[in-house]
Amino acid sequence: MARTKKANDEVATDSDSLKLKVAKQAAKLVKDEMVVGLGSGSTANLFIQELGKRVVEEELYIYGVPTSFDSRMMASNSGIPLISLDQCGEIDIAIDGADEVCKKTLSLIKGGGGCHTMEKIVDYHAKEFVVLADEGKLVESLGDKTAVPLEVIPFAYSTVLNKLLDMNTAPAIRSGSGKMGPVITDNGNMIIDVFINIGDAEETETMLNNIPGVLENGIFSKCDKVLVGTSKKVEILKK
């Protein structure tokens, strides 16, 4: 048991190191007077912290648009001035993490934290959408290992489940760890995770969103580039 725990700790530490490496690199992409989309999740949080250091140390003049309550709090604590989506007009760059990245198409699965709806609104609205990932997130085929999250209006959860079952998928309502009842998003909705064959990411993204009651799904078919943390360097993947 001791050996197993040590091995797990080493893997976790190595992954954290790669995340920090890409976060530092991503923070350098932000220029003075930019409006920046602030992603959600562990890697995005590291980016926000690194960007906050630049704001304080270099007196960088920027505004951030958060994609979740957590990213809002992280940005505030890091000294990053915030602006709402309706106030900013346009977003120069959005920087976010991912749960899975297809090496061939740069399509993504996001939403492990349940924030994918607001993430997609901000990320797709930005002039440039940059994704941060460690090499363990790269896959040959999207969706083989990771379920696609769907944010679902509570009123429609049963009809959405039935539709997904009719599509020969394996859906499950996401429940909170150690809590009773389903996970509720920042928007007051439920999450249904589904394993589905993703032949064409854009086509599957549109198909899932066309199910009545689905607000948004976690397939992101649009991405400009991915910063990948490896043991040697940060690699940049572009379409």
Give 202-227 pLDDT, tens digit per residue.
999 999 999 999 999 999 999 999 99
Distance from C-alpha of 74 to C-alpha of 103, rounded to nearest angstrom: 30
The pLDDT tens digits of the residues spanning 3-51 come to: 344 444 444 457 788 899 999 999 999 999 999 999 999 999 999 999 9
Whether residue 227 contacts residue 22, with contact meaning beta carbons closer than 8 Å, is answered with: yes
Token duo for residue 185:
């998003």
Q: Is 119 annotated in the active site? A: yes
Mean pLDDT, rounded, of the chain: 92
Residues flagged as binding site for substrate:
40-43, 96-99, 110-113, 137
The pLDDT tens digits of the residues spanning 100-117 come to: 999 999 999 999 999 999
- Residue from 119, 151, 205, 216 carrying the catalytic annotation: 119
Distance from C-alpha of 17 to C-alpha of 188, rounded to nearest angstrom: 34
Residue 83 — pLDDT band, cuts 50, 70, 90? Answer: very high
**pLDDT at residue 92, as a whole number:** 98
CATH class of 2-140+221-230: alpha beta
Token duo for residue 3:
């050996």
What is the Cα 154 distance to its own chain's centre? Answer: 22
What does the domain layout of the chain look like in residue ranges?
A: 2-140+221-230, 148-215
Whether residue 21 contacts residue 43, with contact meaning beta carbons closer than 8 Å, is answered with: no
CATH topology of domain 148-215: Alpha-Beta Plaits (3.30.70)
Q: For 126-132, what is the mean pLDDT?
A: 97
Instruction: Indicate the burial class of 89 (C-beta count within 10 angstroms; 0-12, 13-18, 19 or more).
Output: exposed
Helical H segments across the chain, by residue range = 2-27, 42-58, 69-77, 85-88, 116-125, 157-166, 201-209
**pLDDT at residue 179, as a whole number:** 64
CB atoms within 10 A of CB 196: 20
